[in-house]
Structures are given as structure tokens and as C-alpha cells.
Amino acid sequence: MFGYNTWKKQANNRLLEQSKVAETAMGPIQYAMGGKGGPAIILNSGIPGGFDQGMLMAFDMGELPYTLIGWSRPGYMGTPADVGHTLEDYVEIQAALMDALDIPTAAIYGASGGGPVTYAFAAKYPDRVWAVLGECAVSQYYNLYANAVSRLFADIFLSNYGSYWLTNMANKNPEAAIRTVVSGGSKLKGKALQEELALLYQDPVMLEITRELISSMSPMNNRKAGMNKDVEICRAIKTLNLEAITAPTLIMHGLMDHDVDFSHAVNAHNRIKGSELIALPKAGHVIPLSSDYHHYMTQKKAFFDRYRP
């Protein structure tokens, strides 16, 4: 218990040290900034997430000439749950954060459950968006708990004790931690999964990504409200106005994604005029934790460089 309490305290202190709170027209919004300066990229994390998971999405872009902004949606950590309740609210919150930070335009980069606010913002505010990137992004109705595997993973790991256990696993048995995270979000099974994992075990970057991903879901007690709100917003989607998106759009999705089906990528690609779709054959839900990692990283950077204002 002592180890758990110390871990939780350290995790909460880390979150306070790494973030700021902007007073916006919609209310207080927690955020963090990074990068070397330049055109802004807004980072919309998955579920459960927050500003830190947003910044993790751009882990491979910190040395590039962009201003990276990760933020916490309502109910995640330092952003009060009552700041917003609907997808429409979240779009306005993101606009208000950009206003408060004096950011007139940005690329909007959303992963997984950060897809709806990414696409909805780009549709409503085309003049404020210079590019859109959807990474395994939700683009239509989505139920996080639709299948038994996702429900089991959420019940076990999306809790304080679950994330504490995963943190210890990553420190004491790195291969087991990688295997747990990858297999939980991948359709790969049997020999195909073992061959993929064998490649990942050889790369020290994979362990670092795993540790940071686990950290970005810890502790869960101050993310749970945000997660619950995100789940309801995704369940409430009837259709997103994807046809209204005019900014250059790249959609990257793992063909082996077990959490957000590849049909979400097809839906977005078919409805966003001129969009580009890159299907990653070995990637599950966490694209960086795959043998497609280097191709993914190269294509992502090239996309932003191509349309950099």
C-alpha cells in the first residue's frame, strides 16, 4: 500500500508540474505546450486521456519547428467536468483555448476518442485549420465497451490499481507490459502476434512508449469523469459533418485495430474530399507500438511539413 500511495502522489505531482491552466471564455482549461516553436498543432488525446497523452502523441515531433499543444477535455484532471457536456461544447472549448493562447490557426491532430472533436472542429472552423490528422480516430458511432475484450481491458486496467500494476510491470517485466498493451488493442493472434511482439521487444523505443502510455492513463481517479463523458459523446454520434472539412487531411489507421475498427478510417476517407488514407498492415490500436512505427513516423512528419503554413 505504501508503494501505491507514493506512486499516486508522484503521478499527481507530475501532472501539476507539467501543465498550466488557461482561463478561457468557456472556463478553465488544462493544457501543456512543447516543440521548438512555429505553426501550432492541437493534440486531441484518446480515451482515457488528457493533456499528457496529447503530448505523447507527438513524442516524435518535439525537436521539430512546431508549437505542440495538448489539452484536457472536461472531466480530465485540471479541466472541470462542468465546462462542457456535448461534442458541440468541446468544439467551442478548443476554439476558446486557441483564443486564450493567441493561436489563430492550427493543425488538428486527433487519436482514437479524440477523433470526434478533431473532425467536428475542422468542419465548423475551416478558416482556423491548416491540416487535419486522424490517427485510429473515431469518425462515427462508437461504443468503447462494445466487445468483451475491450470491456475486460477497461475493467482491469482503467483503474488506479490497474495502472499502478501496469507501471510496475513495465519496470520489472518490460516484455510483459508491451505484450499486454499491444495484444489488448490488436486483432493479431497466435503466431502472427508473437512474431510482431518479437520485433518490438528488440527496440528500446517500444518500452519507452509503453511506459509513457501507461503514465498518460495514470492515475485514473482524476480521469474517470472525463472518460465517462467521452464514452457518452461517442455513443451519441449519429453522423459527423465530415463533408464540410476542407483542410488537407491525413487518416492513418491500423488494419489490426481491435478497438476502433478500420471502418472508421474508411468512413472518414470516403467523406472528406481529397483526404489521404494510409492503412498500416501490422498496427493495432496503438500505432507507435507496431512494426509499422517507422513508416508511420515518416509519413506523419512529411504530412505536416507538406502543408506547414
**Where along the chain do its domains lie?**
2-145+223-307, 150-215
Among candidates 308, 230, 268, which has minimal Cα distance to 135?
A: 268
- At residue 7, the 3 state secondary structure works out as helix
CA–CA dist 7, 219 (Å, integer): 9
pLDDT in tens, 103-130: 999 999 999 999 999 999 999 999 999 9
CA–CA dist 193, 45 (Å, integer): 26
Among candidates 74, 68, 67, 92, which has minimal Cα distance to 28?
A: 74
Non-local (6+) Cβ contacts of 3 within 8 A are: none
- At residue 133, the 3 state secondary structure works out as strand
Non-local (6+) Cβ contacts of 293 within 8 A are: 203, 205, 206, 287
Say how far residue 170 (Cα) sits from the centre of its chain: 20
pLDDT at position 255, please? 98
Is 188:282 a contact under the CB 8 Å cutoff? yes
CA–CA dist 225, 222 (Å, integer): 7
* Cell triple for 191: 503466431
Domain 2-145+223-307 has CATH 3.40.50.1820: yes
User: Which residue bears the cell 486531441?
Assistant: 44
Non-local (6+) Cβ contacts of 203 within 8 A are: 293
User: Which residue bears the cell 489539452?
Assistant: 71
pLDDT of 273 higher than 70: yes
On average, the pLDDT of the chain sits at: 91
CA–CA dist 179, 174 (Å, integer): 9
Name all contacts of 172-175 with Cβ < 8 Å and 24+ positions apart. Answer: 174/207, 174/210, 175/201
Torsion angle of the four alpha carbons 161, 166, 170, 172, in this order, in degrees rounded to the nearest 10: 60
pLDDT of 70 higher than 60: yes
Q: How confident is the model at residue 267 (pLDDT cuts 50, 70, 90)?
A: very high
84-89: average pLDDT: 97
Non-local (6+) Cβ contacts of 202 within 8 A are: none
pLDDT of 100 higher than 70: yes
Non-local (6+) Cβ contacts of 77 within 8 A are: 15, 19, 30, 50, 51, 222, 223, 226
Q: How confident is the model at residue 174 (pLDDT cuts 50, 70, 90)?
A: confident
pLDDT of 238 higher than 70: yes
pLDDT of 168 higher than 60: yes
pLDDT at position 148, please? 62
**224 φ/ψ angles, rounded to the nearest 5 degrees:** -60, -45
> pTM for the complete prediction?
0.94
Beta-bridge partner residues of 278: 252
